Amino acid sequence: MTGSKRAFLAISARGKPAPLASCSDSSEPGSLIREPLELSASANEYARIAAWLAKGARKLLPIFVLCPLIPLAIGCGSSSPGNSPHISLTQLDHGEEIWGIVKLTARVNGNDISGVKFYWDSVESAHLIAAVPQSNSKYTANLYTQDLPNGEHTLYAVATNGDGQTAQDSVRVNIANVSRAEAIPSKAIKMTPALDPHPPQLEPAFRRFWEDPVPLGPPINTAGGEDSPFITPDGQDFYFWFTPDVNIPPQNQVYDRVTGIYRSKRANGQWTEPERVFLTYYDEPSLDGAHTVWDSELWFGSARAGNYRDLDIWIAKLTDGHWSNWVNAGERLNREIEIGELHITADGTEIYFDSSRAGGKGGKDIWVTRKVNGEWQAPEPIDAVNTKDSEGWPFISEDGNELWFTRIRGAPEIWRSARIEGKWQAPEKVLSPLAGEPTLDREGNLYFVHHYWDDTANKMIEADFYMCRRK
């Protein structure tokens, strides 16, 4: 940052890295110069984090992070001579602290191994974790630690051969997930509309279609930073990004065990307590966000090892109620097309995204790439909505005829363009100020993020979700 400008925090892991947004010293809301809603880091900080992850410079990490990375066979199960099985759990140390997703690995020796099963706390079917053979001697399974209460637990691996002989190994671990409530600083201020100096307001032309915006409320909104909302078309699943303190640096977010993507479900008309969506193993550092759900896939942005860029788009699959089997979206989308914030059309043939790639009008612009014969084509800019300012965070209605997006013109604002006879029309402003990242269900209810801004301190206080109900 240079001159008299100070950082205007952008808190979500969103799209391609860009310099931190800034605002002038003026306290007038119209003077806010707002860049994309991205991580609280400069481009150099992004590159440094990416370098840590890609180069495996784990010697920089604290001892408690290093320890789980050392493969170690422990507590080998007993085996008798001959063809009796022998099994050992690897990569976990006795008393180790774990969280998130843990890949359990068992090494097996012996003839005619018929299978391996993992259990927690008791060797019985009620506590079974499905094992998958990777080879004749290696079996793995994902342990989703959120399914267990925090505290000490014993993990078992049991091998059986064709003669019914068994061998087992076990390790005692400490599950230590961190809740959002635990992570939010005690000094955090929970903002309300009554305290808000810059409340979001509908433009007059849209007040006959939507009710006035109201906070989504608990259990989703907290005194921390909620950002990057996405609601499924049926209105039953709400995904978002959270960090406990909007002013913490990204290197702290990577290791705080709580910053990341969350999901809340609607049950009996109420939102459930959000649960973390882990998209990497606990001993593989990453920072994830920029999410959208299409069919049974979760597309998300991530700073991690294996990227083509500092931040790439990845894809996870929904399996047995968990998002897993994450893979990079590929060189075509990430390096060549330079995809950023995205939304996929209902039929899966078009991706609308934002990017600072060459050929735009200035800042970030909105583009579309189309899939033809299984290949994503060269992107085209949406000229009807792009300007010299920054446009991004696109959302396409289920029928494909409405393009909602955020425009950064001073403070962030929500805009909407209609497609008539196949052509996008000049957009109209819907909501402002400090409102962005619109997402709608098929009933037309509008959800968005609102950032509470402190003019005196010239910084963000926190961020919450608001909703405008369709009339």
pLDDT (mean) for 219-240: 98
Please state whether the peptide bond connecting residue 233 to the residue before it is cis, i.e. omega within 30 degrees of 0: no
Q: Give me 418's structure tokens.
A: 């209609």
- Tell me the pLDDT of the chain averaged across its residues: 86
Domains delineated in the chain: 63-98+101-175 (2.60.40.10), 180-468 (2.115.10.20)
Query: According to the model, what pLDDT value does residue 53 have?
Result: 56
354, 341 contact by CB (below 8 A): yes
Centre a 10 Å sphere on the Cβ of residue 417 and count the other Cβ atoms it contains.
21
Over range 430-434, report the average pLDDT.
Answer: 98
- State the CB neighbour count (10 A cutoff) for residue 392: 31
176: closest CA among 150, 199, 157? Answer: 150
Contact 177, 145 (CB under 8 A): yes
pLDDT of residue 38: 42
Distance CA 425, CA 240 (A): 29
> Which pLDDT value is given to residue 65?
30
3-state DSSP of the chain: CCCCCEECCCCCCCCCCCCCCEECCCCCHHHCCCCCCCCCCCHHHHHHHHHHHHHCCHHHCCHHHHHHHCCCCECCCCCCCCCCCEEEEECCCCCEEECCEEEEEEEEECCCEEEEEEEECCCCHHHEECCEECCCCEEEEEEEHHHCCCEEEEEEEEEEECCCCEEEEEEEEEECCCCHHHHCCCCCCCCCHHHCCCCCEECHHHCCCECCCEECCCCCCCCCEEEEEEECCCCCEEEEEEECCCCCCHHHHHHCCCCEEEEEEEECCEECCCEEECCCECCCCCEEEEEEEECCEEEEEEECCCCCCCCEEEEEEEECCEEEEEEECCHHHHHHCCCCCEEECCCCCEEEEEECCCCCCCCCEEEEEEEECCEECCCEECCCCCCCCEEEEEEECCCCCEEEEEEEECEEEEEEEEEECCEECCCEEEEECCEEEEEECCCCCEEEEEEEEECCCCEEEEEEEEEECEC
Please compute the mean of the pLDDT values over residues 243-269 and round it to a whole number.
94
CA dist 338 and 379 (Å) reads: 9
pLDDT tens, 346-401?
999 999 999 999 999 989 999 999 999 999 999 999 999 999 999 999 999 999 99
- Minimum mean pLDDT range among 63-77, 246-260, 378-392, 415-429: 63-77
Give the per-residue pLDDT at 263. Answer: 98
Predicted confidence band at 26 (pLDDT cuts at 50, 70, 90)? very low
- Provide mean pLDDT across the span 31-52: 45
pLDDT of residue 72: 28
Give the residue from 73, 52, 60, 99 showing the smallest Cα distance to 283: 99
Phi-psi region of 359 (alpha: psi -120 to 50; beta: other; left: phi over 0): left
Name the band, by pLDDT with cuts 50, 70 and 90, for residue 410: confident
User: pLDDT confidence of 45, banded at 50, 70, 90?
Assistant: low
Distance of alpha carbon 423 from alpha carbon 428, whole angstroms: 15
Q: For 100-146, what is each residue's pLDDT tens digit?
A: 999 999 999 988 899 999 999 999 999 999 999 999 899 999 999 99
Quick check: 244 and 62 in contact, CB under 8 A?
no
More confident residue, 16 or 231: 231
Query: How does strand 166-175 pair with strand 96-98?
Result: parallel
* pLDDT for position 251: 87
What residues contact 457, with CB distance under 8 A and at least 6 apart?
none
Instruction: Mark residue 434 as left, alpha or beta (left: phi above 0; alpha: psi -120 to 50; beta: remaining).
Output: left
Q: Percent of the chain beyond pLDDT 90?
A: 78
Cβ neighbours of 196 (radius 10 Å): 16
Asked if residue 24 has pLDDT above 70, the reply is: no
**pTM, full prediction:** 0.84
Going by pLDDT thresholds of 50, 70 and 90, the confidence category of residue 51 is low
**Taking the CB of residue 61, how many other CB atoms lie within 10 A of it?**
15
For tokens 């920072």, the residue is 287
State CA 149 to chain mean position distance. 23
What is the per-residue pLDDT for 95?
Answer: 96
C-alpha–C-alpha distance, residues 330 and 327, integer Å: 8
Is 427's pLDDT higher than 80?
A: yes
Question: Is the Cβ–Cβ distance between 341 and 392 less than 8 Å?
Answer: yes
CA 252, 301, 258, 117: dihedral to nearest 10 degrees?
-120
**pLDDT value for 84:** 78
354 DSSP β-pair partners: 366
Strand ranges across the sheet with 287-294: 287-294, 297-303, 312-319, 322-328
Distance from C-alpha of 245 to C-alpha of 240, rounded to nearest angstrom: 15
Cβ-contact 214, 9 below 8 angstroms: no
Are the C-beta atoms of 413 and 435 separated by less than 8 Å? yes
pLDDT for the residue numbered 11: 33
